[in-house]
Amino acid sequence: MIGCWCDETFVEKIDHARGSRTRSQFCREAIAEKLRTLGISVHEQEANPPDRAGKGGPRHTIYRVSHHPAALNEASPTPPSRKRTKKSK
């Protein structure tokens, strides 16, 4: 993976030029084009994104339950509920 920080105005120019392509795809194509102008052979498949099949997926968060006794505001009683009063006419 290659990542780089760019000035905000530069990113705006990229967004304007890339059209419906993603930033990543635009950058892959720009790098491939630059390599070709330098005389380096780059096949079209090399500029395609890597296959993500079978990688990643939803992450599962494990929530740990504290077994410590309640402290501070956890032990205070719940505040009284507010009852609605009818306005007299």
Domains held by the chain: number: 1
Whole domain around residue 43: which residue ranges? 22-49
Residue-wise pLDDT for 35-78, tens only, equals 999 999 998 888 888 776 666 667 777 777 767 666 666 555 56
Residue 64 lies in a domain: no
- Per-chain mean pLDDT for the chain: 79
Residue 54 lies in a domain: no
Please tell me the predicted confidence (pLDDT) of residue 11.
92
Residue 7 lies in a domain: no
Averaged pLDDT for residues 17-33? 92
Residue 45 lies in a domain: yes
Residue 40 lies in a domain: yes
Residue 39 lies in a domain: yes
pTM for the structure as a whole: 0.53
Read off the pLDDT band of 84 (50, 70, 90). low
Residue 28 lies in a domain: yes
Residues in Cβ contact with 18 at an 8 Å cutoff, skipping those fewer than 6 apart? 25, 26
Please tell me the predicted confidence (pLDDT) of residue 41.
94
